[in-house]
Amino acid sequence: MLGTRDLDRRQKRHLRIRKKVQGTAERPRLSIYKSSKHLYVQLVDDQAGHSLMCVSTNTKANKAGGKKSFANLVSAQELGGQVAEKARGAGHESVVFDRSGYRYHGIVKAIADAAREAGLKF
């Protein structure tokens, strides 16, 4: 479990990254959020100030399987493929990757690799 000190560190890293990473309508920001049970990925247009699309593991179809947690590598790989397909369907070929202060390994890396394999460029 994360302590308050670790959470503060992630928030500081997140703010430091967000100073440099900006999403536009042509190249939106691919943002990741991890909770203890679910994963959330969204494409954000920062200039307009709104979210273009969102994909998460928190759906009725996933919950019907009976599992308790979806914050794992298998779910991350599936989510990366889903977000790439949905983004390419909406006409977004390239994005700016925002890891939200998380380290680039494990789940975050699995989402990024799966999205790249499905044809998304970043």
pLDDT along the chain (122 residues), means of 10: 74 93 95 95 96 94 81 94 96 96 96 97 93
User: What pLDDT sits at residue 3?
Assistant: 67
User: What pLDDT sits at residue 44?
Assistant: 97
- Which run of H or of E encompasses 53? strand 50-56
Residue type, 41: V
* Domain extents in the chain: 4-117
User: What pLDDT sits at residue 2?
Assistant: 59
Burial readout 81-111 (b: 16 or more C-beta within 10 A, e: otherwise): bbbbebbeeeebeebbbbbbbbeeeebbbbb
Residue whose entry in the numeric block shows the structure tokens 């779910």: 75
The fold of 4-117 is Nucleotidyltransferase; domain 5 (3.30.420)
Using an 8 Å Cβ cutoff, are 92 and 51 in contact? Answer: no
User: What pLDDT sits at residue 68?
Assistant: 79
